[in-house]
Amino acid sequence: GEAELYLERVTEPLAALLQLRDGTAPGALLEEAWRTLLRCQFHDSIAGCTSDAVARRVETRIEDARTIATQVARSAFEALIGYSPDAARDHPAATAPELIFWNPAPRRRGGVVVVDLTWLRRDVLVGPPGTRVPRVAVSPADDEISAALGGLPFQPLGRALAHERLDSARHYPDQDEVEVTRVAVYVPRTGGFGFVRGGARPLPEVAAPVRGAGRMLSNGLIAVTVEPDGTVALLDLRTGVRYDGLLRLESEADVGDTYSHAAPPDESTRVASRAAEVRTLATGPLVGSLEMRTGLECADGGVAVRAVLSLHADSPVLRCTLELNNGARDHRLRLRIPAGATGPAVAAGGPFGTVVRRRMEIEPGRYRHETPVRTAPAQRFVVAAGGESRLAVLAPGFFEYEHTADGHLVITLLRAVGQLSREDVATRPGHAGWPMATPLAQCLGFDRLQLALCPLTTASQSGAAGLAEIWEDVFLPPRGIWLRQAIGLAVPELDVWLQGDGLVFSACKPAADGNGIILRCFNDAERPTSGRWRLSQPIRDAQRVRADEGPGTPVPLADGGHEIRFEASPRELVTFRVLPLEHLHY
């Protein structure tokens, strides 16, 4: 899911902005990235129902797609801000470090961004050194970091040594030993798909800073405490609602196969058995983080867990990074989240709309053939449908959840099984595929997962569009791009803004035929709505087209070519082809 997210929300928008500016876009490379990724998304491949050999090929292809997407995004970004790696190598004395922020969402926003800055410590000479003497530098002082950030509020988070290679088309790669300084920076409000330099004015002010002490974090919006048993308590300071027992680690034996989960009739659920060890990593004011280490013992091995819980200033979201070291076989590992979903249904995100899904009630012995599963898929979020006090669970891409009768959401972290298909699965008699051993499907070793929890306070915040914005702020925040040797930058002023109740952004991409760009959104409401795309730079023409970018209808432009106004029916997908003015310059 991460490669697809990067393609859709980073690579394509940057390529589209470049296409809008001067008519150039990496069409062939972008298509190759998508084709490579789509080869991984056939039904059994994307569901994990394959042999180990196929799983290895899928993993390699996903990495290939991500590599192409990263290079296309980097090239488009450098072209848009006027950065030339060749010029930096030609005139090293004229360069200076600079941090540029880009907002990958079509709305104005700022907030806390975590970014890695690299500083030269020593040249790494390749080949016989001869008379060459490697350059050597010292660690940057705080005032040097502040100057590179243009005076923006920042918080140091850590330092480490690493290697970095600077590439340019006309020069041999420059390999350096660098000091990586991780910092949290408070970014001023930036236009939709817009850029901002570190020295932007006025400087932003932090309204709700983070404070940490012992096993607790707070930012004036929510407070989080790690309990001795390894669960987490979250208090919404705005409403007084408290959620206890969050993030409980659970394992149950799994005697199924890659197609179907099956628990043995005599197996009970095992919960985290080790007392949680808690260490403070950051105490604010921009980021507060706690490290929690725990684990559990299963029938065949154990699972070690390192969880990093973080709060950001001015954000009511608990961010959680889970690092798992799975040493157990034939089990299902899940997180239990008492989310207040006591009603009969939940709202789960999907690619083009939210699905309201009723809790699955299973009557044992009723089904002669395959037993329905209690789990269901979600994309980006799942939250109780209705009710005043609700806790949204968010993840970067697709995930699996179960909605229980006591209002809990149970999130699947991994399923460890050793057979492609078994014929003796109690929940599904007969083979679903070929019998074949799948040792890789035991998921042994290290894995890293991300999720977030957000208590909802208003109806607008808990609607699909509001949840989409919360999700963007967590998993697609403004991106900080560090240029260690910046030179001759011409950062554009951009603001692309989608407005309209219930409207959710879907895509900003170069048109497939190279003629203009595509802007797409959908109405995730059961009622019609009015919307508009607002662009800081005027355009020449806009057409409302089909989702496949086929023949469309011209639409009138408003406000001198800066605005596209439209109506969207309930659940409608709305796509526009936008044509720029000739020789458009930002």
**411, 404 in Cβ contact below 8 A?**
no
Looking at the structure, tell me whether residues 54 and 126 fall in a common domain: no
List the CATH number of the domain containing 176. 2.60.40
249 vs 22, which has greater pLDDT? 249
216-232 pLDDT, tens digit per residue, is 999 999 999 999 888 99
Of residues 582 and 36, which shows the higher confidence score?
36
> Has residue 293 been placed in a domain?
yes
Gap between the Cα atoms of 579 and 538, Å rounded: 10
Question: Residue 397 corresponds to which amino acid?
Answer: G
Strand positions, DSSP E, 404-538: 408-416, 445-456, 479-486, 496-499, 503-510, 517-523, 529-535
In a shared domain, residues 259 and 353: yes
Mean pLDDT across 410-424: 96
Residue written as tokens 């540029």? 100
CATH number of the structural domain spanning residue 56: 1.20.1270.50
Residue 469 lies in a domain: no
271 shares its domain with 303: yes
- 100 has which bridge partners? 197, 481
Does residue 18 lie within any of the structural domains? Answer: yes
Nearest partner of 439 among 56, 1, 41, judged by Cα: 56
The reply to whether 9 falls in a domain is yes
pLDDT of residue 462: 62
Is 363 in the same domain as 291?
A: yes
CB burial of 458-488 (b: ≥16 within 10 Å; e: otherwise) equals eeebbbbbbbbbbbbbbbbbbbbbbbbbbbe
Does 467 fall in a domain? Answer: no
Domain enclosing residue 507, as ranges = 496-580
Burial class of residue 582, CB neighbours in 10 A (0-12, 13-18, 19+): exposed
Q: How confident is the model at residue 266 (pLDDT cuts 50, 70, 90)?
A: confident
Is 471 a member of any domain? no
Average pLDDT score over residue span 377-401: 90
Question: Does residue 585 carry a pLDDT above 60?
Answer: no
Distance of CA 478 to the CA centre of its chain: 12
Q: Are residues 77 and 95 in the same domain?
A: no
- The pLDDT score that the predictor gives to residue 584 is 52
CB 328 within 8 A of CB 249: no
Question: What average pLDDT does the chain have?
Answer: 92
CATH code, domain carrying 449: 2.70.98.30
Phi-psi region of 23 (alpha: psi -120 to 50; beta: other; left: phi over 0): left
More confident residue, 427 or 417: 417
Distance CA 472, CA 463 (A): 14
- Whether the pLDDT of residue 586 is over 60: the answer is no
Is residue 492 within 8 A of residue 519, CB to CB? The reply is: no
pLDDT, mean of residues 334-348: 93
**E strand or H helix at 69:** helix 52-81
Look at the chain and report how many structural domains it folds into.
4
Looking at the predicted structure, is the pLDDT value of residue 431 above 70? Answer: yes
pLDDT of 130 reads 79
Residue 459 pLDDT: 62
Report the pLDDT value the prediction gives residue 269, as an integer from 0 to 100.
74
Residue 557 and residue 491 in contact, taking contact as beta carbons nearer than 8 Å: no
295 in the same domain as 240: yes
Q: Any idea which of 455-459, 530-534, 551-555 has the lowest mean pLDDT?
A: 455-459
DSSP string, 461-481: HHSHHHHHHHHHHHHSPPEEE
Do 139 and 182 reside in the same domain of the chain?
Answer: yes
Residue 333 lies in a domain: yes
- Domain check: are 77 and 100 in the same one? no
Peptide bond connecting 202 to the previous residue in cis, omega within 30 degrees of 0 = yes
Spatial CA neighbour of 301 closest among 273, 328, 333: 328
* Nearest partner of 326 among 416, 243, 240, 265, judged by Cα: 416
Question: Could you tell me if 340 and 403 lie in one domain?
Answer: yes
pTM of the entire predicted model: 0.94
In a domain, 537, yes or no: yes
The answer to whether residues 361 and 241 belong to one domain is: yes
Nearest to 433 by CA among 443, 419, 446: 419
Q: Which two tokens stand for residue 572?
A: 């409608």
Q: State how far the alpha carbon of 308 is from the alpha carbons of 126, 279, 280, 448, 551, in Å.
A: 38, 10, 10, 11, 49
Asked whether the predicted pLDDT for residue 497 surpasses 90, the reply is yes
Task: Report the alpha-carbon distance of residue 184 to residue 478 in Å, rounded.
Answer: 12
Confidence of residue 368 (pLDDT cuts 50, 70, 90): confident
Q: What is the pLDDT of residues 435-482, one digit of tens each?
A: 999 999 999 999 999 999 999 987 656 678 899 999 999 999 999 999
pLDDT at 567 over 80: yes
Mean pLDDT of 300-310: 94
Whether 176 and 233 map to the same domain: the answer is: no
**pLDDT, tens digit (0-9, with 9 covering 90-100), for 162-177:** 999 999 999 999 999 9
Angle, helices 52-81 vs 12-22, to 10°: value is: 40
With cut-offs at 50, 70 and 90, classify the pLDDT of residue 494. Answer: very high
68 compared with 387, residue with greater pLDDT: 68
195 and 233 within one domain: no
Q: In the listed set 21, 49, 81, which residue is the last one of a domain according to the structure?
A: 81
pLDDT of residue 270: 74
